Amino acid sequence: MVTKRFLKNVIVAMVSVFISLAFVQGAQAQQTGLDYQSLHLLPFNGSKQLVLGDFDHLGRATSAHIQLQDKDEPKKKREPHLNYNPVGWHNYKIAYGNKGKKAWLFHRGHLIGYQFSGLTNEGKNLVPLTAWTNTGNYKGTADSNVEGMLYYEKRLDSWLATHPNYWLDYKVTPVYTGDELIPRQVTLQYVGIDRDGNLLPINLSSPKESVDAYGITTVTLDNYSKNATIDYLKGTAKPSLVPTEPSSQPQPASPSVETKPSQVPQPSQPAVPAQPVQPVEPSQPTRQLAPVVYVARNGSADVYWYSLDSMPRNTNFSKVVQMSEEQALSLGKRHTSKE
C-alpha cells in the first residue's frame, strides 16, 4: 500500500514538473512577445539546439543553425582529418603573393564551426570554401580579416565565454546561384538571448555587419580568392593574374637630369666635384590597424593581442576586453612581443 502511494506521488510530481517547464517556456515567449520563427531564430527553450538543413536536389548542404551556451561547447578535441567530400569538391595548389609559394585553394568548410557544433565529418554541415573565406588567409589563419569566417567564429566564441549565462543563436547559410555546386557567398546570422528570452545585439566591430530592428546581425561573405578564378558551376579553378599583395620591391629612383654649368671653370680654380646623389628612401607602406584587439584585466593591461589563442593559458578570459587597435594605441598600450 505504501509502495503504491509512493509511486503515485512520484508520478504526480513528474507530471507537475513537465507542466511547469511547459508553462515557463510559454511564459518566456509570451513575456518577450517575439515570434522566433518569423525572425528565423530557433525557438528559445533554454537548452542547446542544433538543426541542419537537408541536402537539396544536387546534394548541396543548405543551412546549419545552433543555439547554445558556453557550457554546451564540445569538450573533446576535434578529429584531425576530414574524410567527407562535399559536392563539387576539387582542390588545387595555387601560388599566392610574390615569392611563388603555393597553398591549397579550397577547404572543406564547416557552416557551424566545430567549436560550437562538435561536428567534423557531417556532410550537411560542409561546403567547399576558399581558404581566404574560411580562415582569412591563403595559408594558415588570420582571425583579424573581416572577410574570413574565422574572424566571426573567434569573436562569437569569446562572447559566449564572457556571457556564460546567455545563449547564442547562430545560423550559417550557403548562397548558391542556380545549379552551381560552389556557394558564391555564405550568410552569417547571430544574436544573443538572455534568460528571459530577450534578444541581445552582438557587435563584433566588423564593417560587414548589418543589424535589424530586433538586434539580429547579418554578415554576408564572398566565397572567393584573389589568386584564383573559380568555376562555381563545376568547382574547378585556375590561377588568376590578379596580384595577391603589393610588390615589396622598392621602385627605382628617377634618374637625375644633367645640366651644363653656366661657366667653364678657370684653370686656376679647380672644378668642384659633383656631390653624389643621395638615394631616395622608399616610402614605407602604412600598416592597417586591426579592427579588434584583446586586452586582459578588464582592459587595464599594458599590452594587447591580435588573437585570443595567442594569449597565455592562465589568462582570465572573462576579463578580456575587446577594442580597436587604434583605441588601444591611443590609451598608450603596445602590441605584445610574445605574438
Residues 150 and 220 in one domain: yes
Task: Say if residues 120 and 78 touch (Cβ distance below 8 Å).
Answer: yes
Residues of the chain above pLDDT 70, percent: 76
Residue 118 placed within a domain: yes
Q: How confident is the model at residue 90 (pLDDT cuts 50, 70, 90)?
A: very high
Residue 129's identity, in one-letter code, is: L
Residue 237's identity, in one-letter code, is: A
| Mean pLDDT for the stretch of residues 249-268 | 39
CA distance 324 to 300: 15
Residues 309 and 180 in one domain: no
Residue 118 has pLDDT above 50, yes or no: yes
DSSP H/E element including 304: strand 303-304
Task: Say if residues 172 and 186 touch (Cβ distance below 8 Å).
Answer: yes
The pLDDT value recorded for residue 309 is 74
Residue 273 placed within a domain: no
* Mean pLDDT estimate for the chain: 82
Residues 62 and 137 in one domain: yes
Residue 262 placed within a domain: no
The pLDDT value recorded for residue 4 is 58
User: Per the confidence metrics, is the pTM higher than 0.75?
Assistant: no
Residue 66 placed within a domain: yes
Q: Which domain holds residue 316?
A: 293-335
Residue 78 has pLDDT above 50, yes or no: yes
Write the pLDDT tens digit of every residue in 190-223.
999 999 999 999 999 999 999 999 999 999 999 9
| Mean pLDDT for the stretch of residues 242-263 | 43
Write the pLDDT tens digit of every residue in 40-70.
999 999 999 999 999 999 999 999 999 999 9
Residue 261 has pLDDT above 50, yes or no: no
Domain count, the chain: 2
User: Pseudo-torsion of CA 107, 143, 188, 91, nearest 10°?
Assistant: -10
CA distance 172 to 160: 17
Residue where a domain stops, chosen among 221, 239, 257: 239
Q: Which residue has the cell 587604434?
A: 326
DSSP result, 130-191: EHHHHHSSSSS--TT-TTSHHHHHHHHHHHHHH-TTSEEEEEEEEE--TT-SS-SEEEEEEE
Other C-beta atoms lying within 10 Å of the C-beta of residue 27: 12
Residues 68 and 204 in one domain: yes
Q: Which residue has the cell 645640366?
A: 259
Write the pLDDT tens digit of every residue in 137-173.
999 999 999 999 999 999 999 999 999 999 999 999 9
Write the pLDDT tens digit of every residue in 304-317.
888 877 888 788 87
CATH number at residue 36: 3.40.570.10
